[in-house]
Structure 1
Amino acid sequence: MSTAITYDRYADTGRATLVPLLVDPATDRPRNLDLEVTPHLLVTAPTGFGATSALRLVAAHTARHGIDVQIIDFKRVAFRSLESAGLRVHRDPEDIAQAVTDFVIGMDIRLEELDGRAPETRRLLVVDGLERLRKTVVGLGPDRSSALAALERVAFLGRAAGYHLAASA
């Protein structure tokens, strides 16, 4: 069984797509999330068990290595340290809806541009509280849907465009 990594045990891997996420307590060896192999991360844990901390680590690591990171923070305080470091944090419903819309549209445009080629750049959307996206509406007129439904496209096609999701539920 693995536990969430603590910051004093964090060891930078030197690669943006190789995120040191867990430490195996039996061996004390880090376990990494490789976005090239597993393009998305879903962290499920009860309150207080480190899901938000894990997402902060993923966001900080990938941003440090040049990946464009956008953060949706329903708790409104969990990512202030990263915001002060220059990362974009979305908190208000309208801003969240626009961020999801822009992320999905950007992925669709990137897929057309790449035309089967491997992506050279990557983007990451961090969502702390995935279940809350059901209440966030995106689109206009008959195309209205929940932001959660809009991100389903990213879950299925994102890897091909270099678009990644890291979320907690």
Structure 2
Amino acid sequence: MNPSQIPLFVTAEGQPEAFDLDRTPHLFVAARPGLGGEDVLRTAANHVARHGGRADFGIGHPNPGTGLDPKVGLHTGRDQVANLIEAARQEVDARLWLLDQDQELDGLRLLVLEDVGWLWSRRDRAQALDDLLQVGFLGRAAGVHLVLSALPDSAVPVELLNCVSVLTLGPVGRHPRARLFGGEPVQPLRAGWGSGELLAGDQPPRPVTLAPRPGRATSAA
């Protein structure tokens, strides 16, 4: 299976639908706890690691929870996450140099960061935020991809929103929704797990439903 085709969604007919990193190289997930954001991040990391890519998972607190494949690199605590972002930016630079030398890259690289709102609220993390933006701007050409999450009302930098697709899960307030997408939702989003809206590339926002994970079913409205 292609590591860039992440099986995140199902269609209205129940057919699987992939999020394609080749077309939309970065994903930002705006969700409150329990609505599926954690599942999206773990699915992405596990899929890439199991299908020939390399995935690292960073979370700012010391308890990452469960559900990560042993092949996924795990980094906990804010210092480790900042170091991971710096390493990803350096890898982007190295991979771009290889491309300039007409050399082949060694496959897809995915950086998954859970609950990164603290990055843009801490002045002492300005370098890590700058490194993250550089990965966002230049990563596609280097085969380095991002999947990030934060609360929907966190002050996400506009520069970051300009280089990612945005997935919101569950209802969000009018202000954070307008800031992330503009206007009102395409259709009302359910309060339960797995109901979302995706803005990818230059396409208008569209409703999506997360694929059920083992042991979990989507909630009714």
Question: TM (normalized to structure 2)?
Answer: 0.61
Aligned pair 1:18/2:11, yes or no?
A: no
- Taking the aligned partners of 1:127 and 1:162, their CA distance within structure 2 comes to 17
Deviation at 1:94, TM superposition (A): 2.2
CA-atom RMSD in angstroms: 2.1
Matching of residue 122 in structure 1 with residue 113 in structure 2: no
Query: Which of 73, 78, 95 is residue 64 of structure 2 equivalent to?
Result: 78
Letter in 2 for 1:111: L
Cα separation, 2, equivalents of 1:53 and 1:76? 18
Residues in 1 aligned to 2:8 and 2:20: alpha-carbon distance in whole angstroms: 10
**Deviation (angstroms), 1:136:** 7.9
Q: For 1:124, what is the secondary structure of its paired residue?
A: strand
CA shift for structure 1 position 168: 0.9
Larger Rg: 2
C-alpha distance in structure 2 between counterparts of 1:86 and 1:79, whole Å:
16
Does 1:68 find its partner at 2:68? Answer: no
- The residue correspondences of 1:19-38 to structure 2 (distance < 5 A) are 19-24=6-11, 26-38=12-24
Residue number in structure 2 paired with 1:59: 45
Q: Distance in 2 between matches of 1:76 and 1:53?
A: 18
1:165 aligns with 2:150: no
SS at match of 1:82: coil
Task: Give 1:150's aligned residue.
Answer: 131
User: CA separation in 2, counterparts of 1:104 and 1:21?
Assistant: 26
What are the Cα deviations for residues 89-129 of structure 1, in whole angstroms up to 9, with x where unaligned?
11122222211111101111111111185745121100101
% of aligned pairs identical? 34
- Report how far residue 27 of structure 1 moved: 1.4
TM-score (norm 1): 0.78
Gap change, CA 1:137 and 1:124, over 3 Å in 2:
farther
Verify the 8 A CA contact 2:60 2:116 in the aligned structure 1: no
